[in-house]
Amino acid sequence: MAKSALLKSSIAKKYWMAFTGLFLCLFLAGHLAGNLQLLVPNNALNFNKYALFMTTNPAVKILSYVTYLSIIFHAIDGIMLTIQNKKARPIGYAKTDGSSSSFASRNMAVLGTLILVFIVTHMVNFWAKMHFDQNMPLQTITVEVMGQKQELYMMTNDGYMATAQVAKTKEEATKTGAQVYIKNRTEFYNTQADVKVGEGYKDLYKITVAFFKHPKYGLIATILYVVAMGVLAFHLLHGFQSAFQSMGLNSSSWTPKIKLFGKLFAIIVPILFAIIPLYIHFILK
């Protein structure tokens, strides 16, 4: 009895909604901290180092799987709750008056669906490229050596390698006689000995800047991103404090503080997220 009560009942569904929702709020805060590095001038290398850490560190990996699961669970649970809620009123009212509740609280399912669409497109644009794109560029820097400009690959062991010496594939290397070729997207291999000599950074910074500065789609991407953050703000405006109520945490001393914090979180976090593409599109040279 007690076990099924924690999975199937109406209240249990709300616990899970609240629990996954609050975890995703933590994720948002962490994700924001990472993204804000994009606002620091000349920070491409640090940002790419951070991106490498976030995609390879085992602890972060576990955390990211929990995040994927939370998103999926939050969405499925939300859909199930919404279906049940629609069924609970088969015949609607001819006239309704929304004055007794807030816009956000009445539209959490719609707002959530829009956020899910955003998450999917966002993951296709950045996450999938980072994880699977075979043509993901590696980070380079341009230096002047004796009056001549030279492009260098930055390496994870703090070394560097001239891009002119590196072939894209082994076949290309044997044709051109390049000493080094790239294997497995990021690894530098010595052509003759066929041993790994180092590794480059995936240039997520470049991908991100190119995405929001795209001559054709950069502006629309920036606008859609900002709109999505607006949707997120409304979702959080109700969701944050609502999660505490669902978990049974409501008291005359704590609830006003939770509500205030939730409001600040719901407004500040999406604004900070939205500033980044605006900065890249309109200000960054």
Partner 1 sequence: MSAAKNININLKIWRQKNAKTKGKIETYKLDNVSTASSFLEMLDQLNEQLVNERKEPVAFDHDCREGICGMCSLFINGRAHGPDTGITTCQLHMRMFKDGDTIFVEPWRSKAFPVIKDLVVDRSSFDRIQQAGGFVSVNTSGRTMDANAIPIPKPDADKSFEAAACIGCGACVATCKNGSAMLFVGAKVSQYALLPQGKVEATQRVLNMVRQMDEEGFGNCTNTGACEVECPKGISLENIARMNREYLKASLK
Residues that bind partner 1 (CB under 8 A): 1-3, 5-6, 9-15, 81, 84-85, 87-97, 99-102, 105-106, 108, 238, 241-242, 245-252
To partner 1, the closest distance from the beta carbon of 97 in angstroms equals 3
Distance CA 15, CA 23 (A): 12
CB 74 within 8 A of CB 13: no
| Nearest one of 120, 139, 116 to 128, comparing CA atoms | 120
For partner 1, the closer of residues 214 and 263 by Cβ is 263
Distance CA 124, CA 117 (A): 11
- Beta strand 187-190 pairing with 196-199: antiparallel
CA 59 to chain centre: 17
To partner 1, the closest distance from the beta carbon of 272 in angstroms equals 26
To partner 1, the closest distance from the beta carbon of 8 in angstroms equals 8
For partner 1, the closer of residues 108 and 233 by Cβ is 108
| Nearest one of 106, 284, 264, 111 to 208, comparing CA atoms | 284
To partner 1, the closest distance from the beta carbon of 254 in angstroms equals 11
CB 136 within 8 A of CB 149: no
For partner 1, the closer of residues 44 and 111 by Cβ is 111
For partner 1, the closer of residues 97 and 144 by Cβ is 97
To partner 1, the closest distance from the beta carbon of 75 in angstroms equals 16
Longest dimension (CA), the chain: 80
For partner 1, the closer of residues 113 and 245 by Cβ is 245
For partner 1, the closer of residues 11 and 66 by Cβ is 11
Within 13 A of 188's CA, how many CA atoms are on the CB side? 24
Distance CA 76, CA 73 (A): 5
To partner 1, the closest distance from the beta carbon of 109 in angstroms equals 9
